[in-house]
Amino acid sequence: MRVLPTLWLAATALATNFNQPVLWEDLADLDIFRVNDTFYYSASTMHYSPGAPILHSYDLVNWEFIGHSVPNLDWGNIYNLDGGQAYVKGIWASTLRYRKSNGMWYWIGCIQFSKTYVFTSPSATGPWTQSGVINTCYYDCSLLIDDDDTMYVAYGGTQISVAQLSSDGLSQVKTQQVFSSSFSIEGSRFYKRNGQYYILNDQPANAEYVLKSSSPWGPYTQKQLLNNIATPISGGGIPHQGGIVDTPNGDWYYMAFVDSYPGGRVPVLAPITWGSDGFPVITTVNGGWGTSYPYPLTPHTLSSPTGKDTFQGTSLGSQWEWNHNPDPNYYSVNNGLTLKTAKVTNDLYAARNTLTHRILGPQSYATIQLTINNMKPGDRSGLAMLRDSSAYVAVINNSGTLRVSMVQGLTMDSNWNTASTGNEVAGVNLPSGTSTIWLRASADIHPGSGRTAVFYYSTDGTTFHSIGSSYVLNNAWNFFMGYRYAIFNYATSSLGGSVVVNSFDMESGSP
């Protein structure tokens, strides 16, 4: 009977520690806060639509997608891939908060260094509507709703400003510069604790600073929270831009992101304490950011990021985002996802209605099952590793002959215009009459260079054949968004064809 306590202790230790990152998915520019016992997380999405996903959690470690603050990117035709493209434009660091006095949720973000948009909703899960436009760009902004219900926004790069909003939160009453940093800072996150106002900022991409004042208008004093701290993700960047939150028990945590290309930017969590000077201090492990810490609260698991989506119901789950705004006339969800070709083009980057899914790291693979008997000559439908350098496996109706093709070498120039539409590396003709096919992409997104993706196809869903060569993933940061799995169907000749995506199955590890 002596073995029992040992086993119990081992099980308890396993169950009460979490590992970094808390969720290995590209969820950059995080803004976290708590309402009662629920934590919320908002992230940047740039050219993906809907934008600014919302996740919730009950323990700060297990997170689940519940919606998006921006239902459609209504900032011009380029967001529809019409007359150009909006790659890397759109939603950058923005902010989400709940306002107790009127039960409304507010999302605020500046688009293309120009205007700031305010979206509101009676519930985190929507419906979200654009309620206000402010003619000042609140670059990298953060909303603070003060104890007296006044709404303030901290924003800016290096010159940090605070704006006061009107009582409905939809327009600006005044704005004022409150701090000028002697070095480059951005990524504001605005809080109040024990009567003191705090603005967190990062110095990209290796440090975080805190401004503190007894008034929202300053004067603020600046102190370093971390600089070049050892990263908890091997090969990844240094945790920097992020935010803080307290638990119902009064414990505080700092969540930052780690540059982890080719996969994007992933969230890591660490406890903080408060020094006698009123500034926060990170709890380190051997001087670095811990690869593991005790769970903040009793673990509360939510739906798994892995598993099979069979597109039940009539709308997509909140984990899905389109590459630019979709054209709703060319897709439908109903026990499967029907993708009608929505554009005639030879360029995947210009095709409309490409549906994307974040890649689960450090290694995962995605399999789609497609019904292909309504493809028209010239149509291409498949599964891509999508970024500014891309590759894919697709079914092509080659004037009547169905062919599975692996294509790589799709590239963009530094303005994110298409530089190359890629070349077939390998192709196989399918037996005539093939009506169902499985396509698979397997991705290693451990941070670093030389990571690869491998593509596969199957005609029975059991035996998968690899096709083409391993595709080397681009790990430059400049595109900001990491690789995604992307499901597409576009026409090269004429519209009218369609495919049905019966399922998307993402599993961790390699096949």
Binding site for ligand NAG (CB under 6 A): 35-36, 98, 372-373, 375, 377, 397, 399-400, 402
- 3-state secondary structure at position 4: helix
Q: Which is nearer to ligand NAG, 5 or 431 (CB)?
A: 431
Smallest distance, ligand NAG to C-beta of residue 436, A: 11
Smallest distance, ligand NAG to C-beta of residue 378, A: 8
Local structure of residue 240 (DSSP, 8 states): -
The answer to whether the beta carbons of residues 416 and 330 sit under 8 Å apart is no
Smallest distance, ligand NAG to C-beta of residue 100, A: 7
Q: Which is nearer to ligand NAG, 74 or 149 (CB)?
A: 149
Instruction: Report the distance separating Cα 333 and Cα 501, nearest Å.
Output: 9
Neighbours of 351 (CB within 10 A): 24
Smallest distance, ligand NAG to C-beta of residue 497, A: 8
Helix (H) / strand (E) element for 7: namely helix 3-15
Smallest distance, ligand NAG to C-beta of residue 300, A: 16
Instruction: Report the distance separating Cα 379 and Cα 395, nearest Å.
Output: 8
Q: State the distance between the two ends of the chain, measured CA to CA, in whole angstroms.
A: 41
Instruction: Report the distance separating Cα 451 and Cα 421, nearest Å.
Output: 22
Instruction: Report the distance separating Cα 395 and Cα 341, nearest Å.
Output: 13
Q: Which is nearer to ligand NAG, 56 or 387 (CB)?
A: 56
Chain centroid, CA 308 distance in Å: 20
Q: Which is nearer to ligand NAG, 400 or 431 (CB)?
A: 400
Residue 304 CB burial class (10 angstroms; 0-12, 13-18, ≥19): exposed
Q: Which is nearer to ligand NAG, 342 or 402 (CB)?
A: 402
Smallest distance, ligand NAG to C-beta of residue 55, A: 16
Q: How far are the Cα atoms of 51, 85, 140 from residue 89, in angstroms, in the given order?
A: 12, 9, 14
471 beta partners: 453
Q: Is the peptide bond before 296 cis (omega within 30 degrees of 0)?
A: no
Q: Which is nearer to ligand NAG, 87 or 128 (CB)?
A: 128
Instruction: Report the distance separating Cα 94 and Cα 129, nearest Å.
Output: 16
Smallest distance, ligand NAG to C-beta of residue 332, A: 20
Instruction: Report the distance separating Cα 90 and Cα 389, nearest Å.
Output: 20
Smallest distance, ligand NAG to C-beta of residue 278, A: 28
Q: Which is nearer to ligand NAG, 153 or 402 (CB)?
A: 402
Instruction: Report the distance separating Cα 474 and Cα 391, nearest Å.
Output: 11
- 3-state secondary structure at position 89: coil
Q: Which is nearer to ligand NAG, 249 or 286 (CB)?
A: 249
Smallest distance, ligand NAG to C-beta of residue 396, A: 9
Smallest distance, ligand NAG to C-beta of residue 498, A: 11
Smallest distance, ligand NAG to C-beta of residue 448, A: 41
Taking 3-state DSSP, the helix, strand and coil percentages for the chain, each rounded to the nearest 5, stand at 5, 50, 45
Q: Which is nearer to ligand NAG, 349 or 438 (CB)?
A: 438
Structure tokens at 292: 């593991």
Structure tokens at 383: 């599964």
| Helix/strand/coil (H/E/C) assignment for every residue in 306-353 | CEEECCCCCCCCCCEEEECCCCHHHEEECCCEEEECCCECCCHHHCCC
Instruction: Report the distance separating Cα 190 and Cα 213, nearest Å.
Output: 11
Q: Which is nearer to ligand NAG, 121 or 397 (CB)?
A: 397
Q: Which is nearer to ligand NAG, 110 or 375 (CB)?
A: 375
Smallest distance, ligand NAG to C-beta of residue 286, A: 39
Instruction: Report the distance separating Cα 188 and Cα 211, nearest Å.
Output: 10
Q: Which is nearer to ligand NAG, 123 or 214 (CB)?
A: 123
Return phi, psi of residue 348, to 5°: -55, -35
